[in-house]
Amino acid sequence: MLATNIQTQNRAIRLIMDLRTKGIQDTNVLGALERVPREHFIPEAMMDQAYEDIAVPIGLGQTISQPFIVAKMTEALELNDRHKVLEIGTGTGYQACVLSKICRRVYTIERHKPLHQYAEENFRALELRNITALCADGMKGWPKINGIDQAPFDRIIVTAAAREKPPAALLDQLAVGGIMIAPVGEAGSQVLKRYKKESEDTYSFYDVMPVRFVPLLPDVATEEESREIA
């Protein structure tokens, strides 16, 4: 067991060094990735790839993003410990956990109930108490719950690709001065974009890099669509 733990630590350290060489400079981001055990979020059959810089399938047609993309998106958010962040697309919870190590509070939405449950188990196992997860339609943003509205959010991160632009509901829930990072475009021509809300009705944006994400879809997935994770 000790040897296994040392091997895992060495792989994690090598990954962080690799991310540095690829241009990730924010020490808070690198520190967060180093402290989140990626093996918790990977299917057992793929465990040997937990610390490779690659995307890994997690079932239901979804993937856990490669660490470089997680780091790049997190870095682009320019986070600090006062920020409240909305994430669309929880998956198994890896990105949310990375965010939780840097910001004050994370609210995350997943449309697949089995993935939502998987993520919540991870949050409990890692004793992360500043994450609130919901199984819902992420394209509608965070709903009012018991009359309480959590919007606006200081930062929003979307981990599935919108066709032309992020949903209006998400842009509406971004605070003035806030930043959203989201992939946009059809398969094969997606671009990661960084939006900044300059006023209530104006935004600036620029392209960060080409990416490949699953499409952003509406509604909560049906039971047929959300079969148990293999």
104-123 as b/e: b if 16+ CB within 10 A: ebbbbbbbbbbbbebbbebb
Which of the residues 65, 100, 189, 204 is marked catalytic? 65
Structural tokens at position 168: 């209006």
List, as one string, the DSSP characters of 5-52: HHHHHHHHHHHHHHHHHTT---HHHHHHHHHS-GGGGS-GGGGGGTTS
Q: Report how far residue 67's alpha carbon sits from residue 70's, in angstroms, rounded to the nearest whole number.
A: 5
Query: In the annotation, is 226 catalytic?
Result: no
Q: Which residues are catalytic?
A: 65
